[in-house]
Structure 1
Amino acid sequence: MSMALEKVAYQPFAFMVDQWRWSVFEDGVQNMNTRWWQMKLRYQGVTPPIIRTEADFDPGSKYHVISDQEYIKYFLATILEFQIFEQLCVAAGHVGHLHECDVYRSRDAGRLLSEIMQPGASKSASDIIRSMTRGRTNRISPESLVKYFRPLELWLRVQNRDEHLIGWNSNYRDVSLFAPQRAGNTHHPLSLSLAVIVLTYYVL
């Protein structure tokens, strides 16, 4: 659970920062702050504590926004972290749940890690992944992350089976904190499971 709060809960934010940046490049600077909070609500279930307008620029609180740096690399790095970890566990001969793997003192895992790190930028990521997986794939995949947290996901399903809603709802009161007032109420049930958060990668 501790690892999920650190890694999985971070993924929607890492994804939405560049979603917002790309929307500015594509659609222009109108309603930038509104779009920021729309995405915060959609992907994270977060609303601002007080009313926000276009006179505010909340995205600017993130350094990567004002310095014009891509943020999707952090989203992909977290996925790749678990993909590499699983391959190290395979090299170490681990059997059982992925979250129980310990590669400490494994020479084979150490050799594989050295093989992955030594080329640096001299090889493409796809070539390194192909070498790391012994030719099985050359693509970044969220499967290892999902596998690592699968026991937690199954436990959470049991804990939440009597809940009427997993995720969050957005209503007019929430949206009115950051969007121009519109006629009628809006009600959009939003539910993001672990798999949906991770597999958002394929939407890119």
Structure 2
Amino acid sequence: MLMALRKVTYMPFAHIVDQWRWHVFSDGVEDITARWWELRLQYQGIVPPVPRSERNFDPASKYHIAADSLYVKYFVSIALQFQLFQSLCDISGHTGELHTCDIYRSREAGRLLSDVLSMGSSRPWQDVIRQMTRGRVNRVDAGAMLKYFEPLNAWLKRQNKRQSVIGWITNRDDKGIFHFVSALFAEWYQNSAEKIKLWSLFPLLFVCKAFIY
């Protein structure tokens, strides 16, 4: 769960930064702040704490936008990280679920990692992936990431069957967000021995928003 909060929840943001940038290049600068928050709501399920206007230009708070630096590389790097990890686990002789793999003291994994990293940018990325996967593929593949989180995915599916609302309301209505949070914690609230008041959950909501941002 902790690894998913670090990696999976970051991917939507890593995706929308350049998606927003490409939107500006193709459609112009009209309503660019509004478009930014539309993407954040669509992919991350978050809304600004106060009303925003085009004078705010919130996207520029991200360095990579102000400095015209590509961001999609961070999105791709996460998938590559798990793809490389799976290859290291395979060559080390690991058996069992991927998230339980430990390559500590594996000389074979160490050699493969050294060979891959030593190439740097001297070779095309397709060659690097081919070397990394020992000739199996020469493209980015998110299959390793899905395999790593499959136990968590199965657990979440079981938990979601108990919930009346899955996901979030994309109408930029704070009441819609409140409804989602209420439904998400409804069972916990009903089963709590202390009957915790719903308003006590708002600090948790704000922490979650800040973490994703």
TM-score between the two structures when normalised by the length of structure 2: 0.80
Superimposed CA distance per residue, residues 7-60 of structure 1 (whole angstroms, 9 cap, x where no aligned partner): 000000000011001101111111000100000000000111111111111001
1:103 aligned to 2:103? yes
How far apart are residue 173 of structure 1 and its match?
2.9
Counterpart of 1:136 in structure 2 is: 136
When structure 1 is superposed on structure 2, of 125-134 and 2-11 the one drifting more is: 125-134
Partner of 2:118: 118
For 1:127 and 1:89, locate their aligned partners in 2 and report how far apart those are by CA, in whole Å: 20
Q: What amino acid sits opposite 2:72 in the alignment? A: I
* Matched residue type, 1:150: E
Q: For the pair shown, which has the larger CA radius of gyration, 1 or 2?
A: 2
- Counterpart CA distance in 2 for 1:140 and 1:151 is 22
Partners of 1:3 and 1:117 in 2: CA distance: 23
Structure 1 match to 2:47: 47
Aligned-partner Cα distance in 2 for 1:172–1:140: 34
Normalization by structure 1: what TM-score? 0.83
Q: 1:172 to 1:39 in 2, by over 3 A?
A: closer
Q: Distance in 1 between matches of 2:136 and 2:91?
A: 14
Highest RCO, 1 vs 2 (Cα 8 Å, sep ≥ 6): 1
What does 1:1-204 align with in structure 2 at a 5 Å threshold? Answer: 1-171=1-171, 173-174=173-174
Give the SS at the match of 1:69.
Answer: coil
| Corresponding residue SS for 2:173 | helix
SS at match of 1:167: coil
Listed one character per residue, the Cα deviations across residues 105-155 of structure 1 (whole Å, up to 9, x for unaligned) are: 000000100110111111011001112212211001111111100000101
Retained in 1: the 8 A contact 2:47–2:172?
no
> How many residues are aligned here?
175
Q: CA deviation at 1:159?
A: 1.2
Shift of 1:172: 5.8
Partner of 1:199: none
Structure 1 position 171, deviation (Å): 2.6
More helix by share: 2
Match of 1:16, SS? Answer: helix
* Gap runs ≥5 in structure 2: 175-213
Alpha-carbon distance in 1 for matches of 2:171, 2:63 = 30
CA RMSD of aligned residues (A): 1.3
Identity, % of aligned pairs?
53
Unaligned runs of 5+ in 1: 175-204
Query: SS at the partner of 1:19?
Result: helix
Partner in structure 2 of residue 188 of structure 1? none
SS class of match (1:20): helix
